[in-house]
Amino acid sequence: MIRIQPPLGESYTNASLDDLDARIGRARQRLGDSVLILGHHYQRDEVMKWADARGDSLALSRFASASDTAKYIVFCGVHFMAEAADIITRPDQQVILPDLNAGCSMADMADTEDVETAWNDFSQVADIDRIVPITYINSAASLKDFVGRHGGSVCTSSNARAVLSWALQLDRPAGPDRGRKVLFVPDQHLGRNTAYQLGYAATDMALYDPRMDYGGLDEQTIKERSILLWKGHCSVHQRFTVDQVNAFRQRNPEGIVVVHPECPHEVVELADAVGSTDFIIKTINEAAEGTAIAVGTEIHLVNRLANEYPEKKVESLDPLVCPCSTMFRIDPPHLCWILEGLVDGEVRNQITVDEDVADGARIALDRMLSIS
């Protein structure tokens, strides 16, 4: 998805961090309770320190909607998070993304038109009414809308198991209503890891590649496989490897490895603990003093946890891991530019979702909440 972020003036790009901090502080004070700054876990520390709340995207959006005073929601995250916030928050609240180039490569791997093409492919060879589309929260509003209107649900890394169980009707006894299929987009790894948790085997799954005719699948595969995984991934979490796990264990025989379920399955299989970002934070918090912990997730969070728990030995599973390039785009100059614009009465980079799209997306989000 192409988004154009206007370049900032020299008063922002050439300003020192101390100057920007002073200006952000003044603007923040003048705006008072009318502005709420949300910081996703993966943000850099110099931005995160200004956050009124930090957490994952869905929790932050719900937190913002509960605010009685916040008119402006400044979401320090990426585009799909700001879209979700606009869908969830009240009509009198305006959602702002400090840098329009802050997107998500995983979300962009599942273009809604491509998913519609896949849906048409499936309808040619299978009973489309028995296929349930599930989209990870890391997806565009238009894809959430598609899923909502086709009887599916959104999921998060925390509730993917519950949502997938619902879609596959695992809570029902064997019979004619069992055996529905799932199309899981956009993260193949979360879908695969969750399916294995539920007892499914590799032979129950197939990978749909949107760059190939019929996703590279034949008619029999589409008909017989229970879980059709979209060929998408997180560029950060896909970097973690079995060799990295083994190297850490050689250095730290008593250490623990905790990873996000967006990691490849062979890494998840070797980890001591697997879960969402909040789960990772909780695991480190509860670990004994002196424990060596290798973490398979975004480096800003890992470094922050290492600083917050100096009595434990927290490190990245990948010593060469790079920050998420799109998350990294939210920086003090852009935050300052947004806040000073609000002081001057100008709302910059407002993110709005068309109401027709928002309606379907709300169906998918509400369905998820009712499941989990």
CATH domain 107-233 topology:
Rossmann fold (3.40.50)
Is domain 10-103+326-352 annotated with CATH 3.40.50.10800? yes
Note the pLDDT tens digit of each residue in 228-245: 999 999 999 999 999 999
Note the pLDDT tens digit of each residue in 343-363: 999 999 999 999 999 999 999
Residues 6+ apart with CB under 8 A from 213: none
Q: Is 10 left (phi over 0), alpha (psi -120 to 50) or beta?
A: alpha
Give ranges for CATH 3.40.50.10800 in the chain: 10-103+326-352, 107-233, 237-316
Query: Could you give the CA distance from residue 217 to residue 210 in angstroms, rounded to a whole number?
Result: 10
What DSSP line would sit under 243-286, residue for residue? HHHHHHHHH-TT-EEEE-TTS-HHHHHH-SEE--HHHHHHHHHH
The predicted model scores a pTM of: 0.93
**CATH number belonging to the domain at 237-316, selected among 3.40.630.10, 1.20.140.10, 3.40.50.10800, 3.40.50.620:** 3.40.50.10800
- Render each residue's pLDDT in the chain as its tens digit; 372 residues: 556 788 999 999 999 999 999 999 999 999 999 999 999 998 999 999 999 999 998 999 999 999 999 999 999 999 999 999 999 999 999 999 999 999 899 999 999 999 999 999 999 999 999 999 999 999 999 999 999 999 999 999 999 999 999 999 887 655 455 458 999 999 999 999 999 999 999 999 999 999 999 999 999 999 999 999 999 999 999 999 999 999 999 999 999 999 999 999 999 999 999 999 999 999 999 999 999 999 999 999 999 999 999 999 999 999 887 667 677 789 999 999 999 999 999 999 999 999 999 999 999 999 999 997
Query: Could you give the CA distance from residue 126 to residue 216 in angstroms, rounded to a whole number?
Result: 16
